[in-house]
Chains A and B, each alone.
Chain A
Amino acid sequence: MNENEFLKQLNTLRHITPSQHWKRESFAVLQNEMKKVSAAEKPAKGMLAIQTIRAFFSDLPFQIAPLAVLLLLFTAGGFVVLNTSQGSLPGNFLYPIKLNIERAQLAFVGNSAQRAELSIEFTKNRVQELDRLMLSKNSLTTDKNAEIVAQTIKQNIDRVKETVTRQKSGKDFHFMIALSLESTSTEIKETINKSKGILSEDVKNTLQEALDSAEETGLTALIKSIEILPSDDATTVTDPVDDTEQVDEALEILKTKIFELEQEQNTIETRLNAVADSITPEDRAAVEQISGVIDTLIAESKQALSESNYDKITENSKLIRELFNKIAKVLASYSQAEAQLTSETNTGAEQTDTNVDENSASEDVSGENTF
């Protein structure tokens, strides 16, 4: 082996990278740390502009500085607007600029894999915007703007779904997307839980649809990361190092997902008991019947996992999610009715939302059977 080959071999050590799963986990920890600052103090955009100007002038020779001032006067306005728009919310006149910048970023991205990653990143921005909007005191304006944001979230997820469905190859790409969507789903779920009594039914439904789509797409991506062969397609990211480890991680996540469905299934009985006094026998029987179907589907999914029948798992998971939604709607109507009753009994002095089930996505108090 000659010197060049030796140096080449040294350069191959560049392929040493941490696992994708750790990357996501580590970033999630960092994000939590960053959220503390975001909540405590918003980044000083004005200061940023001043520091940028300083940075600009510190590099220029003394004689050119006055000319630079004139140039800056023409361009600085636009620059400040671009920067300030990044922190804007729907309803703010700078918000459309922010969306247009994101659209432009998407348009200039080289390949569909990167576009999907970017779409997920923008989705996370939207979810954070929703959280900030919910802190607003004007509920009417909040709801109108929240609807716009929720629609955008759904559109972004649909874009990712389309890419994942179309993209035939690229294990790493699919694994990365699966992990990103996993954390996005968690964030959307948390936002839905926080939105109780703040956002309208329409907005929550749109968010729920986005969540279902994110979970379905995440699962599809996860399964593709296990099933398909490494790509020779130049548009996909490849990581030759940790392939087996990655497949093992993906299978582990898949098992956890089935386990989570089982956990949710186990809560149905408790939720039924919580509304035992008000639920009609017909609705109770219907919920129990659906619950039985879910049991069967979960058992089938476990079997499918042991047989590596991943299509079956995808199909069953989709069905299970739909059935959970149906149950949630029925139980939510009763738990709302109970909450209202409790509130009236307690002289109506305080808002008693405590009987409302955690997973309630509905504020419909009509008690109408949704089956």
Chain B
Amino acid sequence: MNPLRKFKEKIFIARLHAKDTHAYTEVYNTYMERIYRFIYFKVDTKHDAQDLTSEVFLRTWRYITEKNGKIENLNAFLYQVARNTVSDFFRKMSHTTQAIKDDTDGKTDEIIDTRQQEIFQRIDIGRDIETVENILRSLKGEYREVIILKYIEQMDDGEIAKIMERSKEAVRVLTHRALKKTREQFFTTKP
């Protein structure tokens, strides 16, 4: 990030810390669609994606205003809130599932894995295989995230590293693996 942009972002974050509603409106307008897309590929329905996106912006605003929380990197912060919001959502869902299934230990990962298996099955039997969207949904969590951030949101490795709390090198390796997996899925399912 060039120094001028960095400085501008610092001023902007200062405005947020001063609880400036106009600044937060700008945040909403700038990030809302990106956060929506990020969540959209993680959940089953549009409706859930919309609810969770709203939740992300409410949580962030409350963090700034009620907890007087400080933000270092706005972009990374919002995506982290989005990840946590989705995790909480699946955690809540897992409680419901636990009541029904005695043999599950209630972990979020298992729920997600089950969903992925279902999507894989759908791909195997040849339904809905054409869309890249379905393949993206079938990828495991971190692969999916890195593909969204790198190829849909066009972020550089540095930005992705901050969001995913990994080193740039780790992001590069992850991107390579994720892309390989996506490509395999795409070309094997494509007639």
Contacts and interface: CB of A to CB of B under 8 A. Distances in A.
Interface stretch (B31-39, B74-82, B86-94): B31-39
Interface string A224-242: 0000000000000000000
B101 interface: no
Interface residues of B, number: 45
Given A10-B147, A43-B20, A37 B7 contact: no
Contact of B61 (A7, A10, A33): A33
Interface stretch (B8-16, B105-113, B115-123, B165-173): B8-16
B28 interface: yes
B86 to A, nearest CB: 16
Contacts of A58: 10
B133 interface: yes
Contacts of A29: 54, 58
Interface residues of A, number: 39
Interface string B134-155: 0010000000000110011110
Nearest to A47: B18
Nearest to A86: B22
B176 to A, nearest CB: 13
A259 interface: no
B73 interface: no
Contacts of B133: 13, 16
A255 B69 CA distance: 44
A34 B151 contact: no
Interface of A: 1, 3, 6-7, 9-14, 16-18, 22-23, 26-27, 29-31, 33-35, 37-38, 41, 43-45, 47-48, 51-52, 54-56, 58-59, 86
11 contacts: A10-B132, A11-B154, A13-B136, A13-B152, A16-B37, A30-B24, A30-B57, A30-B58, A44-B19, A52-B14, A86-B22
Closest 3 CB pairs of A and B: A55-B10, A51-B14, A48-B18
